[in-house]
Amino acid sequence: MFHVLTLTYTEPADVVDQVRPAHLEWLATEIADGRLILTGRMESGEGGILVTSDISTEEALGVIAKDPYHRSGVVRYERVGFTAGARAPGL
């Protein structure tokens, strides 16, 4: 199952920015380990979107739990899981 993880900032930008370096390091690790395949800030600037690889719901919840943003309480997460009915080659 793939998952779309939506992060919404719950604290002012200056507070979020204090945690950002640890969050970016964590993202790099999750990408390198193959759990995340796409990441980025929302166009609105109100948060971000993460797309997981084909992992279990439990693994997706574990990804969320390890995020320094989540651990420091500066974001709220929402998760939507979906099965891939059609895929681009290589996914």
Average pLDDT, the chain: 95
2-13: per-residue pLDDT in tens?
999 999 999 999
β-pair type (36-41, 75-82) = unpaired
**Number of domains forming the structure of the chain:** 1
C-alpha distances (whole Å) from 7 to each of 51, 59, 76, 88, 90 are 11, 17, 6, 25, 27
For residue 76, tell me if it sits in a domain.
Answer: yes
- Tell me, yes or no, whether 87 lies in a domain: no
Residue 61, domain CATH: 3.30.70.1060
Mean pLDDT of 5-31: 97
Supply the range of the domain harboring residue 49. 2-82
The CA distance from 4 to 37, in Å, is 10
| 91 within some domain | no
- Inside any domain, residue 88: no
* 64 domain-assigned: yes
